[in-house]
Amino acid sequence: MLDDHTVREFARRYAEAWGTHDPAEVASFYAPAATISVNGGPPKAISDVASGFISAFPDIQVFGDDVVFKGEVVEFHWTFTGTNTGPGGTGSSVRIAGFEQWILDENGLVAESKGFYDQAEYERQLALGSEA
């Protein structure tokens, strides 16, 4: 397992990658065959998930809130903000906190991720905005 400092630096750079608005840059933190499942959904390629969020929220920013070590699992806690101005968007701003549970491979890349956030709150903010 990588040392704490290395993993924290990895998480910081991963959050910054979202701000590039480039799904390939986000995916570069994942092993080639890695997947992410979101809120218990089916595993998908990170490039597909990143493309979806970046398309929906062209101004997306991800902020690293904490990194928690739980044995072989690393929890990356984050907050994401953005305005839903992509195709079919509502124009609403969202601010959602959540976390990813990572299993890192021997190269220090994410081999598997499970992401979680409050889906009901996300949908409320899509409809009404984060200020409502």
What is the residue whose two structure tokens read 């899509």? Answer: 126
Q: What is the mean pLDDT of residues 44-49?
A: 96
Question: Is residue 1's pLDDT more than 70?
Answer: no
**What long-range pairs does 17-21 form, CB within 8 A, spacing at least 24?**
18/50, 18/53, 18/54, 18/60, 18/61, 18/62, 18/80, 19/60, 19/61, 19/62, 21/54, 21/58, 21/60
Alpha helices in the chain, H assignment, sequence order: 4-18, 23-27, 46-56, 119-128
**The two three-digit tokens of residue 127, written as one number:** 């409809």
Question: Is residue 99's pLDDT more than 80?
Answer: yes
What DSSP state is assigned to residue 118? -
Question: Is residue 57's pLDDT more than 70?
Answer: yes
Q: Is the dihedral of CA 12, 15, 16, 22 positive or negative?
A: positive
Q: What is the mean pLDDT of residues 69-92?
A: 96
Can you give the CATH number for the domain in which 105 is found?
A: 3.10.450.50
pTM for this entry: 0.94
Contact residues for 131 (Cβ-Cβ < 8 A; gap 6+): 93
Give the chain's domain count: 1
Q: What is the mean pLDDT of residues 75-95?
A: 97
Q: Could you list the residue range(s) of the whole structural domain that residue 61 is in?
A: 4-128
Phi, psi of 67 (to 5 degrees): -125, 125
Confidence grade of residue 2 (pLDDT, cut at 50, 70, 90)? confident
pLDDT for 33? 93
